[in-house]
Structure 1
Amino acid sequence: MIRTLLAAQRTELLPRRAMCSGVQLRVCPGRCLYDEPLRLQVSGLSPGQHVTLRTELTDEGGELFSSLGRYRAGSSRELELSRSPALEGGSFTGIEPEGPLWALKPRDPLRRLLKRNVQSPFQLRFSLHQEPSGTLLASAAQERGFMGEGVTRLLVREGRVRGSLFLPPGSGPFPAVIDLYGTGGGLMEHRASLLGSHGYMTLALAFFDFDDLPNNLGGLSLNYFQEAVEFLRHHPKTNKQEIGIIGLSKGAELAMIMASFLPGIKAVVGISGCSANTFVPFPCDGFELPSLEFNADKLKFTEAGEVDLSETLDDPTDPAFQECLIPVERSFAAFLLLSGLDDKNWPSDLYNKQLAARLTEHEKDVESYYYPGAGHLLEPPYFPLCKSSYHKLLGMPMLWGGELRAHAKAQEDAWKKIHGFFSRHLKGSRTEHSRL
């Protein structure tokens, strides 16, 4: 009797093994930059077969990010993410070729996906499973990197300037960009390295809590940023000594200040910034730019304990705080302003509208875009939404905002606009970057 049952079980397994061996999961290319589209195909399925695509990424700290897509094979026995809609019950629905990437979620809900060592790629793992049994049908892997072929990274310790410089391959000269992040401090290189891979000589500039720099925002001054601008302007591979700046959050605010007071800045991208100086007074050449005050009584907390700072700053349009406004009308640069309408850090859309109105009033070159459902942390495309994370400077969980799909689409569009803007103003091209 036992032999009969074992024989029957072996007979049942044969078709399943044959089905597994015939399924192929292809991810193309095997290596690419993180901001490149995902091309994934499955063949060898049965018509109408229900499967689950699992995507996994382990960050440098060992945190697992994963997403799940549920699909049904058509009569062609194939799935192609650019044509096959994801079904309900997964991390995303509809025709979303890059959904497996931007829908990645960490086990720890306060974990933000960052890349500390941009000289090594992220390893993406894809596995296809039969529903509902969970049987593994096929698997594939892909490396998504940040430094394209021939790009070099140089650690910068020039005078007081601290950061890293990404040089595209070739003899140059190259359009040059300074990249600034926010109040998290340290050195953030993932966006700068991608810009370097797209032909921009990019300086990822640290301004506190890195190397021998001050460990808080109180050490900021215009002189430091002027030194960084002069370093990049006079680099032998800089094109025309004209540079661009891209900044997020406090970095956007600093970019506006630099463009207002320093020469040689041709183009500025401000992402989720403020129209006034914030948090600490900012020493300039012979005077000090006051800062908006922080009102702790206006702090709000979610049920999960995340802090919402969106109403804690004084209103920069209040006449009492006019001296805190960044005088962008002094600048000769062109401006691109980007913000999400679900920004929970501060109302960056209102701040950008104030900036755009003043720039327009003074007949300056400005473009501004506002994204419904996007949060504060607008990153390069396919980075997963970070709705909240632990903020080192504040010492508590911080709410950033954003809705999954809307935020992902905003990041894709913003990245194209950033490349188009820098291409026009730093490269002299009227078309967007060819790889985007």
Structure 2
Amino acid sequence: SGLEPMGLLWALQPRRPFWQLVKRDVQSPFVLQLEVLEGHTEPPGRLLAQAQHERAFLRDGVRRVPVRDGRIRATLFLPPGEDTFPGIIDIHGFGRGLFEYRASLLANHGFATLALAYYKYEDLPQKLTELHLEYFEEAVNYMLQHPQVKGPGVGLLGYSKGGEVSLAMAAFLKNITAVAALNSPVAVTSIPLCYKDKTIPSLTIYEQHIKVTDSNILDCSDIPIDAFQAPGNQSLIPIEKAEAQLLFIVGQDDHVVKSEYYATEICKLLQAQGKENFQILSYPGTGHCIEPPFFPLYPIGNHPVFHKQAVLGGEVRAYSKAQVHAWPQIQAFFQKYLNDK
């Protein structure tokens, strides 16, 4: 009910089940062919009207720079002009390779943004048995040494596993000013995380707690042990060490990570230690995926650990509202803290 001017975009459904709409090549626009057909029958009636809608990912003057510096495999997006810009590193989740669409959109809004791959891309490892923060530290140093990146610190935007990595970077590395974590664990998951002589073990997973729907879709929402109840909390990231500002963005219907619970509990711990460097944005009807505005809902997709179709969560209209609200909040968060130094 009601008018939804962008509904033709956010209500799109894949022709093949469980496919996700993503943008691989940001140098060309999304092209949406709109057609109005007579009647509501199959096969459809005669064509009454048609139009074409394009969504660009790079505004005029934004530069896309492939980065092959030391071990770093990434793409840097620089806003127009020769000024210095606040710097952000964009880190996606497991199974992602290199995705540039979020970074390109942030560059459109004045941020020098590095889309960073960490595996399954070019000569990076195809499979990870442990994750080393030194690689991500190289990316931070690359950004801070760039003549068009405004220091003294950088921001991190991380989704899922990328958010987990971003929180660990804030805990262990220098020069991290602000972190926006999208549906992120606050404990190490799947594989151990290493930095110098320290290794944080991954959280225990109870595969026997996996539920299987009638359609043979996995529901993995109950499989990780509670990081806050685990003996010794050895897998928890020591986020209390972070000096960065922290923004937790969570979907209340996330079936992959108990992101709302984790964000709430870690903020309680931070508050108990006198910290005030955190905030939470929590969205009802929103699942594990939180993309920029008007990307269609992706409620069922490939689980990042089990590599089978699994419930990710979310409801179409609520998810669209969450996108529209969260995206400018992320930009405002980085504008505030990266320009405030």
TM-score by length of 1: 0.75
Instruction: Decide which of 302, 327, 335 is 1:415's aligned counterpart.
Output: 327
Of 314, 324, 329, the match for 2:235: 324
Deviation at 1:117, TM superposition (A): 1.0
Alpha carbons of 1:321 and 1:209: their partners in 2 closer, same or farther (altered >3 Å)? farther
Q: Quick check: 1:111–1:390 contact (8 Å CA) kept in 2?
A: no
1:47 equivalent in structure 2? none
**Given the alignment of the two structures, is residue 117 of structure 1 paired with residue 28 of structure 2, yes or no?**
no
The amino acid of 2:2's aligned partner reads G
Asked if structure 2 preserves the Cα contact closer than 8 Å seen for 1:337 and 1:367, the reply is yes
Structure 1 match to 2:135: 224
Corresponding residue for residue 98 of structure 1: 6
**Per-residue deviation at 1:132?**
5.7
Shift of 1:137: 2.8
For residues 190 and 205 of structure 2, the distance between their equivalents in structure 1, rounded to whole angstroms, comes to 7
| Aligned position for 2:67 | 156
Distance 1:392 1:259, change over 3 A: closer
Measured at CA, do residues 132 and 212 of structure 1 come closer, stay the same or move farther in structure 2, by a change above 3 Å?
closer
Question: Residue in 2 aligned with 1:307?
Answer: 218
> What secondary structure is seen at the aligned counterpart in 2 of 1:324?
coil
2:307 matches 1:395: yes
What CA distance in whole angstroms lies between the structure 2 residues aligned with 1:266 and 1:160? 23
Specify which of 373, 376, 380 is matched with residue 288 of structure 2.
Answer: 376
Partner of 2:167: 256
Aligned CA-pair RMSD: 1.6
Aligned residue for 2:50?
Answer: 139
CA-to-aligned-CA distance 1:329-367 (integer Å, 9 cap, x gap): 111110110111111112111011122222323323111
Do 1:332 and 1:364's aligned partners in 2 also have CA atoms closer than 8 Å?
Answer: no
Answer whether contact 1:342 1:376 (CA < 8 A) is retained. Answer: yes
Measure, in 2, the Cα distance between the counterparts of 1:265 and 1:388.
Answer: 33
After TM superposition, the structure 1 stretch with the greater mean CA deviation from structure 2, 276-285 or 375-384, is 276-285
Query: Rg bigger for which structure?
Result: 1
Instruction: Point out the more displaced range, 273-282 or 314-323.
Output: 314-323
1:323-362 → structure 2 map (5 Å cutoff):
323-362=234-273
Hey, what's the Cα distance between the residues in 1 that align with 2:244 and 2:53?
A: 40
Provide, for residues 248-282 of structure 1, a one-character-per-residue CA deviation record: whole Å limited to 9, x for no partner: 10111100000001111111000101111111111
What amino acid does structure 2 have at the position aligned with 1:382? Answer: F
The 5-angstrom pairing of residues 181-220 of structure 1 reads 181-220=92-131
Equivalent-residue separation in structure 1 for 2:81 and 2:272 (angstroms): 41
Work out the CA distance in 1 between the residues paired with 2:58 and 2:137. 27
1:185 CA drift (Å):
3.0
Output the CA distance in 1 between the equivalents of 2:322 and 2:20: 18
Give the structure, 1 or 2, with the largest relative contact order (CA under 8 Å, sep 6 or more): 2
The answer to whether the Cα contact below 8 Å between 2:130 and 2:191 also exists between their aligned partners in 1 is: no
> Counterpart of 2:146 in structure 1: which amino acid?
H
Over 3 Å counting, the alpha-carbon distance change for 1:108 and 1:321 in structure 2 is farther
Q: For residue 165 of structure 1, give the secondary structure of its aligned residue in structure 2.
A: strand
Task: Check whether the contact 1:260–1:326 (CA below 8 A) recurs between aligned residues.
Answer: yes
After superposition, the C-alpha distances for 1:87-132 in whole angstroms (9 at most, x for unaligned) are xxxxxx3211111110000111210011111111111112234446
The 1-side partners of 2:152 and 2:60 are apart by 25
Aligned to 2:31, the other structure's residue is in SS state strand
Instruction: Indicate which of 289, 295, 301 corresponds to 2:200.
Output: 289
Structure 2 counterpart of 1:112, which letter? Q
Counterpart residue number, 1:63: none
Partner Cα separation in structure 1 for residue 307 and residue 233 of structure 2: 30
d(CA) in 2 for partners of 1:376, 1:367: 19
Tell me the distance in 1 between the aligned counterparts of 2:288 and 2:237. 20
- Is 1:126 the counterpart of 2:3? The answer is no
Question: What is the identity, as a one-letter code, of the residue corresponding to 2:87?
Answer: A
Report percent identity of matched pairs. 41
Q: Quick one: distance in 2 between partners of 1:344 and 1:295?
A: 15
Give the distance between the partners of 2:90 and 2:170, measured in 1 at CA.
13
Q: Does 1:425 align with 2:314?
A: no
- Partner Cα distance (1:172, 1:300) in 2: 53
Residue 183 of structure 2 is matched in structure 1 by: 272
Q: 2:40 and 2:290 mapped to 1: Cα distance?
A: 36
- Contact 1:275–1:354 (Cα < 8 Å) also in 2: no
Equivalent position SS for 1:218: coil
The equivalent of 2:153 in structure 1 is 242
| Secondary structure in structure 2 of the residue aligned to 1:389 | strand
Q: Which runs of 5+ in 1 are unaligned?
A: 1-92, 430-436
> Is the 1:315–1:321 contact (alpha carbons within 8 Å) kept by the matching residues of 2?
no
- In structure 2, give the amino acid aligned to 1:414: A
CA contact (8 A) 2:89 2:115 kept: yes
- Could you tell me which runs of 5 or more consecutive residues in structure 2 were left unpaired when the two chains were aligned: none
**1:173–1:304: structure 2 CA closer, same or farther, 3 Å change rule?**
same
